[in-house]
Amino acid sequence: MIEDTLLETMEKMEKAVEHTRSQFATVRTGRATPSLVDRITIEYYGAQVPLQQLASISVPEARQLLIKPHDRNSLEAIEKAIRESDLGVNPNNDGISIRISLPQLTEDRRREYVKVARNMAEDGRISLRSMRRDARKAMESEEKDGEVSEDDLERAEKELDKATTGYVDLIDEALSRKEQELLEV
């Protein structure tokens, strides 16, 4: 039973680390990437639809995104959603596609984005610690029910702590890479 709890918790922790990394990808750096618009949803025929499902997104230049809707009727809605997003950019609509030019980041803006990335990393760490706490509770209840010995519980808790530390380190490594990327001029 303890092994199942450990494996399940480690799988969840792996997913939490991947989620945190994907969140880092949405933080704007000096370069344009399609992941910048991943979080944008568009009101399309009464439903909220992710931008990736309504349009193809490409990077024609280092500081520019090109969004070509599959349905030209959605062009205005896409433009509106981008304008209202937290990207801080002004989309250019030419009637066929939307171009987003990303301006050079100022030093202050770079520092703001570093703070955003640090908050995302802390959220990831908090979720890892929460998973560790839940796993501990489950293992302790197994020990109270007499299904597991005290020695096995102690060994499993050490293994859980070691795994948690490893996953926190992965988040910290990803954060340091993102900070370097953000502060790079």
State residue 24's pLDDT score: 87
State residue 185's pLDDT score: 64
| Residue 92 to residue 97: CA distance in whole angstroms | 8
Other beta carbons within 10 Å of 4: 10
Q: What is the pTM of this model?
A: 0.73
| Residue 128 to residue 89: CA distance in whole angstroms | 34
- For 178, the token pair is 């993102």
Angle at CA of residue 165, ends 161 and 170, nearest 5°: 150
Burial of residue 33 (CB within 10 Å: 0-12, 13-18, 19+) is: middle
Distance of alpha carbon 178 from the chain centroid: 12
State residue 108's pLDDT score: 87
Q: Is 15 helix (H, G, I), strand (E, B) or coil?
A: helix
CATH topology of domain 34-101: Gyrase A; domain 2 (3.30.1360)
| Residue 44 to residue 71: CA distance in whole angstroms | 10
Length of the chain: 185
Mean pLDDT for all residues in the chain: 89
Position 10 confidence tier, pLDDT thresholds 50, 70, 90: very high
| Residue 155 to residue 149: CA distance in whole angstroms | 10
Question: For residue range 154-184, what is the model confidence (pLDDT) as tens digits?
Answer: 999 999 999 999 999 999 999 999 999 888 7
Match 């302790």 to its residue by tokens. Answer: 140
| Residue 77 to residue 48: CA distance in whole angstroms | 11
| Residue 72 to residue 52: CA distance in whole angstroms | 15
Report the candidate in 185, 175, 183 with the shortest Cα–Cα distance to residue 25: 175
Question: For residue range 40-89, what is the model confidence (pLDDT) as tens digits?
Answer: 899 888 899 998 999 999 999 888 899 999 988 889 999 999 888 877 78
Q: Where are the domains of the chain?
A: 2-25+106-183, 34-101
State residue 131's pLDDT score: 95
State residue 166's pLDDT score: 96
Residue 1 has pLDDT above 80, yes or no: no
Question: For residue range 120-147, what is the model confidence (pLDDT) as tens digits?
Answer: 999 999 999 999 999 999 999 988 888 8
What CATH class does 2-25+106-183 carry? mainly alpha
> What's at 84, amino acid-wise?
E
For residue 67, the cross-strand partners are 57, 98
